[in-house]
Structure 1
């Protein structure tokens, strides 16, 4: 049966909309309304700044002047100049579109990008109306632009990292930092004088180190108060200097503050001003702004004629702001001002220099050419690069004769089986000009980290040439909530494509809704626009048609951005290196999570992952999908592993309950609906049948009246480190089952050690079915990259092992590694305790400490920066470090058959450097 008159409910826009109030536009409307014009203009410019820094959006302004026509009158030089000051002239032309509609001016704002503009000009990391950071040049104080501030703060950063003074930079016309000015007349005479005569002429001029201000007229106290932050900031940020208030530019002493009787008024005013100034430190000190003041009386003959204020400001170690930067962003749907520290950090932001430390990565997205909110993205070096991942994930040829391709094919077919009449909705989804791809998902919201709506059948994202992107949402029944879901999801997709995806072109995602109910589409009604708190007064429907510019897409760049959106995760190394960056899932990992297995249908799955294939990464991503798909609370999702260190790690990285198997068996979890088990090969039955308990929890009718919960088990029999029963079903009973065979963690030399010992494990396996399965995995095992890594094998006495570790750690520290990137692993906890004392004696020479366990004292007041993890190989299961020292990695003499298992467990923990240290 074909459906007729299918109604597509078009929302027309899904974007961040700021209401900038009302304004008069055009040049000739400005002459009689200067006061109001300034406020109107600032509201528009502030909104533009916030949207530029937050992924773009739309500004709506009510037009006050009758008879205004944008095509005739333009927007006016004040607004035009304000936008010009936010960006370069070339960038303004390409970043803003203006459309007059229904008594309003709509200003479409493109996301800010600090890459090269149309004229190959360098742009700062973010845009701002004012920096409010000042500096001296010749005899003037000037406000630094964001680019000037970037040069300034970079120079300060270099100075903070060196004990010797910095030589004069060629691109800055200022003296070397921290060089105290030598102005003899001020220091020897003027600064010490307590009285001056009205009309005295000073015997020195204004310079980089001296500023004269008159302020002898009306409102002088107010003018002094307003000027102080600017000049204190300028002198402190340059090389210090003197501000003399009550002197004309011809050096005549005229006094100031004629209505003030007590000179302490000025001392208190300056003290209060200094205390309120914003300072940002980029060095290891927390110095304050130092200054000296002399408030001298000015006498006209013998009568009081005000004061001469002489303020000396010392050079400041880092940055002094006269006020917070006039820079704005959107946070939690509100316009917020960027704080000075955040401003400085963003301006200084560069890609983390991890290539030297971790040669296993290659850069895919750089923050130096991406929107403000982006993080650096790295993939595995010489593995499938971002372009290759994009082509495999979205195999679309836009130059082919085909029009709209549908992917993924398996999900599309599954949806048609469940909802047969979905086929009749496809013509509406594909009914556009141009070529492109229609990407189906049960919920695009879940794919980008948002909650699924239960009344939504599916979403389909259309990316096609000559069209703005569209998100089709198929709803089960007419609902304002579905309408809002579609709009919010479309907006979130757009924001994700910008940050973290890095797409820099003009972009919108238009939501369109199809109602699906018993084989017929249902006409829907529009609903109110998404409210943005106090920023948006209008609650009525805002009809918006995007400018034609928004249909000129770079589809390939858009698909690359979408690939980053879907595959990115925060690298585990971010905490160790002290800088946040993103890694990408491999195609194999992504397919298990997204393409092959839909957790709404595949509730139970056994995942066998060879060493270093990223099982824990998938487990973490899985937890997030479960929470968003089923809208779970923390207590409803349970992660179980064998060892406490891994449970602690996952507790920090996920929003679910994380426990060890022992805790799981000793406590009750009445609210749990979904269970994820990790490192299951090392589970035991000593406390009871954990598998049976997990199964009973996730299938309990009281918590799952409509079906069982998710139960995924991750394991690797090659890393099994005991002979006891695991409680897992037999291999032949583990169905459905998936395998991960592409190694992503370990360098090639380390992977060879792992693979060699896997072969030894097969020789000792007695279970025929299990051996057959493991042999298949062994043959399919491969290293997914080409970075070599290093392996060192040595035999020596325990004392020499400790000395050797100390020497190597020093070498690593000298080349830029941190102790956070290292682990020392022994066969057992008893071995750890034995070596702890030996290691402490050696490592204390480096001010480094071997930390055995969190329950142990953290060695007094020493910070974690000086601590190297010391643990047993078994307890470190599931974790990783770039550098691993393995001490005597041998099992108990009664368990020699487990030697290759122990070596696999140990070697697979090391990413780039593995040291195998055996006792003589």
Structure 2
């Protein structure tokens, strides 16, 4: 579908979305004097800009006043009415405020959010539209649905998609003939005819199912096409009906169109083409087309052919029929552009995913039902910190004045930058209540590139002020202001569109610098300043905390693996400990060992850190190297396109001297059979003392799957070191089993791992209230494969997908041992979805070894006879197996009988 771009200008020198609509006449009396064409043109510009901002997180419409009024003026009733229509006649001040500054007039637009709309109604569309292009029939009238009615209509159509269509109008056209009514139904009798008499009166009036229209005196085919674009969709979207062209709607007389003015065959062809080009959306699997019939009837005058009349019959459509592309706008990059029909429908009908079965162990942190149009649903595992708890842990607001956070960074910055403390104190000396959030780079925190010369950024969230972003430079820099503005812009957009903040929001900016003599100086933040209304100030603790909870989602949110399972974008949240590690100053934490318990999110952390490395050090993806032991995990990371990913064997075989930064995952399974991998990695990342390079190593000794030398330095040399003890993956019953096996490993560790880090399991925290399944059985080989096939069949019938399931065996040799029997058992149940490719992105069940599946996860895991020839690591193998399962774990031991 073709996209249309507006001529409106998106200004780039502000920390907010600002759309310049050019010259507009303001004031009711001034606008009444405008010619209609000019008035409508100006109204359309303002409406498009307002619609785009409502759908894009809010912002400001900038108008240049065409009239030279020195006194304050109002917008004008027609402009106000256009804005009210956009927000479904809600309170105008709920979404718009205005301010006149000299010759400029500003309309401040808050992001659309359905929770502000009509609190006592269920009609809450996700986006705003100038026109839905959806018509419906009501009595003898046709109405264009506003976005609220369109949302209700589409929702009802979707719900009823599998139901049979209701009452159909009578008539031979539809092949729905009721013999007992033929003699008494005048509609049937009339439309059964093949001609009309000129001047004959129709024996029935217009109704829900009948519309009379005359032919136009000029441009007959164009008028007919325009009439079809309105009435045929209206009938199709309601109960079906007839459009009769050539009948006066008041007198009901047949007038027709003179034969000299129209070609019969051409008219029919144009009508059919117009209907066939109508855009249809289906909510069922039939993908049927509009069911219609066009009948051209002769109109006779005294037995002679005078002209023609047209009868178009259309059935009720199972989905929705659009008269054209809906008129809805968004800001994309620097353009104001229209949504295609597909985009509009997707956003209008966007709902939270159904987590009834698949994800019942998650709870909602941000729902689409009351969030801005571009927000995505956010979930966290039950039992973990809620966004409110995370906010109070990480960004607390107290009644005891201003708080700096994180305190460790504050001490580091103040001790290393003389004059910085005094500079910040002068800026915020009068702040009575709030929080100052420090960062070495707020740009990097927002997934933007770091700027050289920035000492730090600081975000002030304080009462009776708008949020303020400070950028402190080592020295004056012409690019400092644009950096601060870009960062504030990104922060504002993410707080609304990712964090789901629904209040009035702007981020003001201020750039500060320390002079070479270390005396503190400051300068204004942006060359372009808009004076926002006082409603954009944070009025109290409740508003500050609501904004900070949106900030938690922005900073701690990451794309969940549930996204692939559910087919829509879903976010999860880091734990407080994960975030504290992730937010470390990478220039001060060049090497780090992260010991994490099974299911504590080490691989997610590795992915997040690599994204941060790329923005902090301005490096290309091919300069970041991710190393793991097994190919399936390597392939999973490769699919993210954030780095190079190789196995340990490949790392030892090839030259990686061009690599800048290295992340090592699942290091407990590394070996030294191909050489000293740790020394090689350290040599690469420490070859230039003056250039900071990252070497972070993630490991879990509990999941060590061999008894050979690992190659890690001794524990005392693994410094600095962090621990992840919060288990976020496994359901309660599975977590309890993992904890039991962890104690077995701690008491009977293999000889190649140190005892000290195994005490971590005593600090473990588990999400106990997440329900799951733990099933341990002793079965024969044949019974095992039958149990897997039967259970999978039942799971798939309940709505689970093959990509939710992994079947894990002891070794790669065992894969082939069980493969054929499993395939046959599955086929007997009508299941054809088993593979030995451990691609978690594939739509299939995985059959692989426990070792090769290390670092990956599935909702449901079958572990078949997870034994090992090395008794010393038997419990480690069980830990690795059990920790792969999110919801269901089936351990099936093979017995001889």
Give me the TM-score of the superposition, normalised by structure 2: 0.92
Residues 156 and 670 from structure 1, CA distance in 2 versus in 1: closer, same or farther, beyond 3 angstroms? farther
The answer as to 2:268 corresponding to 1:267 is yes
1:216·1:257 contact (CA, 8 Å) conserved in 2?
no
The answer as to 2:230 corresponding to 1:255 is no
Residues 543-558 of structure 1: pairs in structure 2 closer than 5 A: 543-553=529-539, 554-558=543-547
Residues 526 and 773 from structure 1, CA distance in 2 versus in 1: closer, same or farther, beyond 3 angstroms? closer
Paired residue secondary structure (2:160): helix
1:216·1:246 contact (CA, 8 Å) conserved in 2?
no
Residues 766 and 219 from structure 1, CA distance in 2 versus in 1: closer, same or farther, beyond 3 angstroms? closer
1:198·1:253 contact (CA, 8 Å) conserved in 2?
yes
Residues 228 and 700 from structure 1, CA distance in 2 versus in 1: closer, same or farther, beyond 3 angstroms? farther
Specify which of 416, 420, 423 is matched with residue 422 of structure 1.
420
Residues 573-612 of structure 1: pairs in structure 2 closer than 5 A: 573-594=562-583, 597-612=584-599
1:280·1:340 contact (CA, 8 Å) conserved in 2?
no
Q: Which residue of 2 aligns with 1:739?
A: 723
CA positional deviation for 1:850: 4.4
Residues 768 and 64 from structure 1, CA distance in 2 versus in 1: closer, same or farther, beyond 3 angstroms? closer
Residues 207 and 374 from structure 1, CA distance in 2 versus in 1: closer, same or farther, beyond 3 angstroms? same
2:278·2:321 contact (CA, 8 Å) conserved in 1?
yes
2:707·2:750 contact (CA, 8 Å) conserved in 1?
no
The answer as to 2:164 corresponding to 1:165 is yes
Paired residue secondary structure (2:436): strand
Paired residue secondary structure (1:30): helix
Q: CA RMSD in A?
A: 2.6
Q: Which residue of 2 aligns with 1:232?
A: 232
Which deviates more, 60-69 or 463-472? Answer: 60-69
CA positional deviation for 1:36: 0.2
Alpha-carbon distance in 1 for matches of 2:752, 2:675: 27
Paired residue secondary structure (2:710): coil
Alpha-carbon distance in 2 for matches of 1:94, 1:147: 17
The answer as to 2:742 corresponding to 1:721 is no
2:648·2:677 contact (CA, 8 Å) conserved in 1?
yes
CA positional deviation for 1:909: 0.3
CA positional deviation for 1:877: 0.8
Residues 416 and 273 from structure 1, CA distance in 2 versus in 1: closer, same or farther, beyond 3 angstroms? same
Residues 257 and 348 from structure 1, CA distance in 2 versus in 1: closer, same or farther, beyond 3 angstroms? farther
Which deviates more, 568-577 or 644-653? Answer: 644-653
- 1:71-105 alpha-carbon deviations (Å, 9 max, x no partner): xx421111111111111444312211111112121
1:700·1:708 contact (CA, 8 Å) conserved in 2?
no
Residues 584-663 of structure 1: pairs in structure 2 closer than 5 A: 584-594=573-583, 597-663=584-650
CA positional deviation for 1:166: 6.7
1:181·1:240 contact (CA, 8 Å) conserved in 2?
no
Q: Which residue of 2 aligns with 1:450?
A: 448
Structure 1 stretches of 5 or more lacking a match?
Answer: 1-10, 169-177, 528-540
Specify which of 54, 57, 69 is matched with residue 56 of structure 2.
54
Residues 524 and 180 from structure 1, CA distance in 2 versus in 1: closer, same or farther, beyond 3 angstroms? farther
2:88·2:148 contact (CA, 8 Å) conserved in 1?
no
Residues 156 and 667 from structure 1, CA distance in 2 versus in 1: closer, same or farther, beyond 3 angstroms? farther
1:27·1:77 contact (CA, 8 Å) conserved in 2?
yes
- 1:755-799 alpha-carbon deviations (Å, 9 max, x no partner): 22222223443659811232x212222314432422111111111
Paired residue secondary structure (1:787): coil
Alpha-carbon distance in 1 for matches of 2:155, 2:650: 51
Residues 245 and 845 from structure 1, CA distance in 2 versus in 1: closer, same or farther, beyond 3 angstroms? farther
- 1:466-509 alpha-carbon deviations (Å, 9 max, x no partner): 00100001122323322111001111111111122111110100
1:325·1:343 contact (CA, 8 Å) conserved in 2?
yes
Paired residue secondary structure (1:473): strand
1:416·1:422 contact (CA, 8 Å) conserved in 2?
yes
Residues 300-379 of structure 1: pairs in structure 2 closer than 5 A: 300-301=301-302, 305-379=306-380
Residues 771 and 19 from structure 1, CA distance in 2 versus in 1: closer, same or farther, beyond 3 angstroms? same
1:383·1:785 contact (CA, 8 Å) conserved in 2?
no
CA positional deviation for 1:431: 3.6
Residues 262 and 117 from structure 1, CA distance in 2 versus in 1: closer, same or farther, beyond 3 angstroms? closer
Paired residue secondary structure (1:608): strand
Give me the TM-score of the superposition, normalised by structure 1: 0.89
2:809·2:850 contact (CA, 8 Å) conserved in 1?
yes
CA positional deviation for 1:736: 1.1
Q: Which residue of 2 aligns with 1:689?
A: 676
CA positional deviation for 1:150: 2.0
CA positional deviation for 1:145: 2.1
The answer as to 2:33 corresponding to 1:32 is yes
Alpha-carbon distance in 1 for matches of 2:830, 2:439: 53
Alpha-carbon distance in 2 for matches of 1:753, 1:886: 14
Q: Which residue of 2 aligns with 1:897?
A: 872
Alpha-carbon distance in 1 for matches of 2:30, 2:757: 81
- 1:889-918 alpha-carbon deviations (Å, 9 max, x no partner): 1113xx122210110010000111111111
Paired residue secondary structure (1:653): coil
Specify which of 853, 867, 874 is matched with residue 851 of structure 2.
874
2:595·2:721 contact (CA, 8 Å) conserved in 1?
yes
CA positional deviation for 1:283: 2.3
Alpha-carbon distance in 2 for matches of 1:879, 1:855: 9
The answer as to 2:481 corresponding to 1:483 is yes
Q: Which residue of 2 aligns with 1:568?
A: 557
Structure 2 stretches of 5 or more lacking a match?
Answer: 1-11, 168-173
Alpha-carbon distance in 1 for matches of 2:230, 2:98: 36
1:134·1:144 contact (CA, 8 Å) conserved in 2?
yes
Alpha-carbon distance in 2 for matches of 1:375, 1:452: 26
Paired residue secondary structure (2:225): helix
Residues 150-299 of structure 1: pairs in structure 2 closer than 5 A: 150-160=151-161, 162=162, 164-165=163-164, 191=191, 193-249=193-249, 250-256=251-257, 260-299=261-300
CA positional deviation for 1:457: 1.3
1:362·1:378 contact (CA, 8 Å) conserved in 2?
yes
2:186·2:203 contact (CA, 8 Å) conserved in 1?
no
Residues 130 and 611 from structure 1, CA distance in 2 versus in 1: closer, same or farther, beyond 3 angstroms? same
Alpha-carbon distance in 2 for matches of 1:310, 1:240: 13
Q: Which residue of 2 aligns with 1:171?
A: none
2:808·2:863 contact (CA, 8 Å) conserved in 1?
yes
Residues 768 and 315 from structure 1, CA distance in 2 versus in 1: closer, same or farther, beyond 3 angstroms? closer
- 1:289-341 alpha-carbon deviations (Å, 9 max, x no partner): 33221223434446665431222223323121111111111112211112222
Residues 77-156 of structure 1: pairs in structure 2 closer than 5 A: 77-117=77-117, 120-122=120-122, 123-156=124-157
